[in-house]
């Protein structure tokens, strides 16, 4: 969704923007690797259940809140005003007097029409900036519990591995 948003704004070809997109890909790859490790290194537990790899699980719990805030910041810095100047409602597209201005001033880059641009950037806004997006950020920060405690659990787990 970030790549599509950057295509809307025409900034995808800038070197710094590409570097930031590369960082988001690296975060994604890290979480995929941690998820893969949790599954492939899982150990049998009770009643046929399995426990995910503890080191990967603890790392995921510590890194996820940091990643969410970092990626949100990357989106805000790179999509920039694309998230700001959007119509307040889809009804604006149905009003011919307003729609003509949207078609002229809110079109996307490289031939993208205004309707597609608005849909993509509204979706991105819903994910990071709306009331839902704000609650989700808070959820990610607090999902695993106390930030100090999850780091201390990771430290204890690391000490157990050295013994």
For the chain, state the CA radius of gyration: 21
- What is the predicted pLDDT for the residue at 162? 73
Closest CA to 108 of 129, 89, 122, 94: 122
Whether residue 31 contacts residue 67, with contact meaning beta carbons closer than 8 Å, is answered with: yes
Contacts of 77 (CB under 8 A, 6+ apart): 20
Query: What pLDDT shows up at residue 163?
Result: 67
What is residue 161's predicted lDDT score, i.e. its pLDDT?
Answer: 72
Return d(Cα 60, Cα 66) in angstroms, integer.
Answer: 10
Task: Identify the CATH number of the domain in which residue 88 sits.
Answer: 1.20.140.10
Give the pair of three-digit tokens for residue 135. 């609650």
Number of Cβ within 10 Å of residue 102's Cβ equals: 19
Q: How many helices (H) and strands (E) does the chain have?
A: 8, 2
Q: pTM of the full predicted structure?
A: 0.89
Measure CA 16 to chain center.
18
Q: Total structural domains in the chain? A: 1
* Average pLDDT, 10 consecutive residues per value, the chain (163 residues): 97 98 99 98 98 96 95 96 91 95 94 96 94 88 92 90 71
**Domain span at 116:** 2-162
The DSSP string of 5-39 is: HHHHHT-TTSHHHHHHHHHHHHHHHHHHHHHHHHH
Whole-number Å distance between alpha carbons of 7 and 122: 14
What pLDDT, on the 0 to 100 scale, is given for residue 157? Answer: 87
């Amino acid at each position: 969704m970030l790549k599509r948003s950057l295509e809307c704004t025409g900034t995808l070809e800038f070197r710094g923007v590409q570097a930031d997109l590369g960082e988001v890909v690296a975060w994604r790859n890290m979480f995929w690797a941690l998820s893969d490790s949790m599954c492939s290194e899982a150990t049998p537990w009770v009643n046929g259940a399995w426990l995910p790899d503890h080191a990967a699980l603890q790392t995921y719990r510590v890194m996820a809140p940091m990643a969410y805030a970092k990626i949100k910041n990357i989106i805000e810095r790179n999509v920039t005003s694309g998230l700001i100047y959007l119509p307040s409602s889809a009804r604006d597209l149905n009003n011919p007097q307003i729609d003509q201005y949207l078609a002229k001033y809110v079109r996307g880059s490289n031939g993208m029409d205004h309707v597609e641009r608005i849909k993509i950037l509204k979706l991105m806004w819903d994910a990071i900036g709306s009331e839902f997006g704000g609650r989700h950020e808070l959820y990610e920060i607090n999902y695993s519990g106390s930030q100090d405690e999850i780091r201390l659990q990771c430290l204890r787990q690391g000490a157990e591995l050295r013994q």
